[in-house]
Amino acid sequence: MAVLDTIKAKPRRRSRSGLLLLLGPAFVAAIAYVDPGNVAANLTSGATYGYLLVWVLVAANVMAMLVQYQSAKLGVVTGKSLPEHLGQRYRTRTRRLYWAQAEIVAMATDLAEVVGGAIALHLLFSVPLPVGGLIVGIASMGLLSVQNRHGQRHFETVIIFLLVIITIGFLAGLVLSPPDPAGVAGGLIPRFEGTRSIVLAAGMLGATVMPHAIYLHSQLAKDRHPDARSTPAKLRRVIKATRIDVILALVLAGAVNIGMLLLAAATLGGVSGTDSIEGAHAAIVNSLGPVIGVVFAVGLLASGLASTSVGAYAGATIMNGLLKVRIPLQARRVASLIPAIILLSVGVDPTWALIVSQIVLSFGIPFALIPLLRLTASKEIMGEHRDGLPLRLAALVSVILIVALNALLLWLTFTGQA
């Protein structure tokens, strides 16, 4: 009996280890959910409103998990990325307009990531912000060369390593300054306090449900599993692994985001100057000590380096799919670096620039979500793997909530109330 049990257990263990080997693309996409824009939005929210907007991050993370699974499944089942599907369905002028808005989103993303990395270098080594932005850009080119030379698996390994550093950097402070359980529970009740909290909520949403990650994940999943459609059994297995990949990666990213807000609520509430990352860092050092301050800054630097590499990858994916134009990742990196360096050089407040960039991302979400929803709900495109009714309804509710929040933000902005 013992021998038989051992024989039966071996295939099960092989099955589990095989599933683990299929994981990875979602962790690359998840970097977009812990970029410096998230840091600015979450720290500002926690320092200004305490636990008030915890519910926004919880809801946004659930939405992110949903749409990243849909994006990855689209790439696995069809063998085409979301931009490639859109490029095939739209006429030339529509494709160009669609690319233009997606490019603005990608530029806003890159702005946040380079600025965040520059702030981290300034905090750690007093490097001037423009120089720090240039260093981040050059370092990210090195990360992208890993993907070019050694393939996606090695790139995933490097990104996952950086994700571990980010997690430690942003959550270490919670060990010394744990949040108030009653405050956290109260923050799960949906509500706002004035127009400023709505603006922050839109920024947090834009920083969590990232349009460029939606475009990119379908490409990552497609490239990672090129033979997924070889047999129906293999396809079902890859879809299962994709679901596990997304859940694990987004739970980790969500924990980091919520942890940042909780740290700010527990440590920075009522402290002056915490409306900037530099001020928040100084307050963290004063409250929790210089070691935690250094760990936090290292996490911010890892966030900037990893996310700007992933952002450049996403921009290249969008351009190739919509315009049928393929350019080297390094060339793409150089072109998208210029606006961030200019912004850092003219003296614009970097933290506010990060928050505004996340609001821009929020407006780009419907352009990615609505086509994704339609494609993954199509039996003609997805076959038996089309989204079920509960998933379609959940995706529809997500799109409606996001569009409604963006419309409210637009109205507040043009009426001068934001």
pLDDT tens for 103-121 read 888 888 888 889 889 999 9
Q: Which domains does the chain have, with CATH numbers?
A: 43-414 (1.20.1740.10)
Tens of pLDDT, residue by residue over 19-47, are 666 788 999 999 988 988 788 889 989 99
pLDDT of residue 112: 80
Residue 4 has a pLDDT of: 40
Say which residue the tokens 């049990």 belong to: 5
C-alpha distance from residue 350 to each of 111, 157, 214, 347 (Å): 10, 30, 26, 8
What percentage of the chain exceeds 70 in pLDDT? Answer: 92
- The ranges of the chain with pLDDT < 70 are 1-21, 206-207, 358, 410, 413-414, 416-418
At 8 the pLDDT is: 47
For residues 126 and 383, give the distance between their C-alpha atoms in angstroms, rounded to a whole number: 56
Q: What's the confidence (pLDDT) of residue 20?
A: 64
Contact 229, 235 (CB under 8 A): yes
- Picking from 188, 202, 183, 140, the residue whose alpha carbon sits closest to that of residue 341 is 140
